[in-house]
Amino acid sequence: MSKINVGNFFEDFSIGQKIVHPLPRTISEGDVSLYIAFTGSRFALHSSDELAQEMGYNERPIDDILNFHLTFGKSVQDISLNAIANLGYAEISFPNPVYPGDTVAMTSTVIGLKENSNGKSGVVYVHSIGTNIQGHEVLNFKRWVMVHKKDKETTTGINEVPTFKESTPILDTINIPVIDCVDTDATGGEYFFEDYVKGERLDHPEGITIDNSDHTLATKLYQNNAKVHFNDHMMKSTPMGQRLMYGGIIISMARTISFNGLQNAQWVYAINSGAHSNPTYAGDTIYAYTEVLDTIDHKRDDIGLLRLRTVAVKNQKASEIANPKGEDGKYLSNVVLDLDYTVIIPKKKTKKIK
């Protein structure tokens, strides 16, 4: 028997299958610094110990999206090592904060399988849960990924697709400290929950060009060893002709770009759904705009939530995109991410009086 792990193909998955992913990861301050280096993220809560303590934390939590990458990366060798592409996400929540020094691990359950009509690949749907060393959930999400078949001549006909909630439920209890004071000089933004209205659009002006070095180092940091991201030699023989950018990097870029206009939205509460609508490659420049889908009051009087839709486009300013989809209902070729997510933002009562 071979000792080499070649990864799972579509036929290796079964409904209800449970997978305990190897390689628990202890998160360090170095991971946090590298994440800022790769993304340029500027949210102050994850940058300043003093600000975090002023907001009621004993120590600075890591960025929620970094938590996603480092925990998600555990699942790659079992779920998507033989992936063609990661297609989407749903019902992502961040139940508890993560801090430097925490160790995260992940388990997954297969909740759906759909063989593609070409018989050469299929879509695998999984529900994954990340926990810290104390057993507390730090990440809970569902995703679906297109995976190569091992036997392309034999069809299975399987077509069991799960249903997903339109949005992640908002709980009465949110595990962040009560916020007494927000220093807008420190956060870089003067707008609070009450300043945003449903239907508002924010055209973020900044663009970020992604280099091969950024992508290579980031996927190594997340231990995401999917072949489509790592193996340029293999990818040169595919129709793409080069490595495919890990879609999570585009989520990070879009979140970083959204800072301008959402500076006080320090927390990602949930990702309701997300679609990687077109591939991204090294050298592409990412722009983004954000629509306010809803403003959600909370029983806590110090915070509210904004349901947002951030659309990322490549090599074109986001302000030039009126609708990410054409008349045929399909995404425009330069739209690379359509992300529906919910952020936590303080209310005006927390503004620090100068």
Map tokens 């430097």 to a residue.
100
pLDDT reported for residue 352 = 84
Three-state secondary-structure class, residue 26: strand
Q: How far apart are CA 238 and CA 120, in angstroms?
A: 15
Residue 304 lies inside a defined structural domain of this protein: yes
Q: How far apart are CA 266 and CA 193, in angstroms?
A: 12
Please give the chain's pLDDT, 354 residues, in tens: 678 888 899 999 999 999 999 999 999 999 999 999 999 999 999 999 999 999 999 999 999 999 999 988 889 889 988 888 888 889 999 999 999 999 999 999 999 999 999 999 999 999 999 999 999 999 999 999 999 999 998 988 999 999 999 899 998 999 999 999 999 999 999 999 999 999 999 999 999 999 998 889 999 999 988 888 888 999 999 999 999 998 889 999 999 999 999 999 999 999 999 888 999 999 999 999 999 999 999 999 999 999 999 999 999 999 999 999 999 999 999 999 999 999 999 999 999 876
Residue 162 lies inside a defined structural domain of this protein: no
Residue 83 lies inside a defined structural domain of this protein: yes
Residue 1 lies inside a defined structural domain of this protein: no
Residue 3 lies inside a defined structural domain of this protein: no
Say how many domains are in the chain. Answer: 1
- Report CA Rg, the chain: 20
Residue 267 lies inside a defined structural domain of this protein: yes
303-314 and 285-297 strand pairing: antiparallel
Ordered DSSP codes for 44-93: GGGT-HHHHHHTT-SSPPPPHHHHHHHHHGGGHHHHTTTEEEEEEEEEEE
Q: Give the helix/strand (H/E) hosting 142.
A: strand 137-148
Range of the domain at 271: 10-156+167-350
Residue 86 lies inside a defined structural domain of this protein: yes
Asked whether the beta carbons of 126 and 31 are under 8 A apart, the reply is no
pLDDT reported for residue 180 = 93
The CATH number linked to 250 is 3.10.129.10
pLDDT reported for residue 76 = 87
pLDDT reported for residue 1 = 65
Residue 161 lies inside a defined structural domain of this protein: no
CA 243 to chain centre: 20
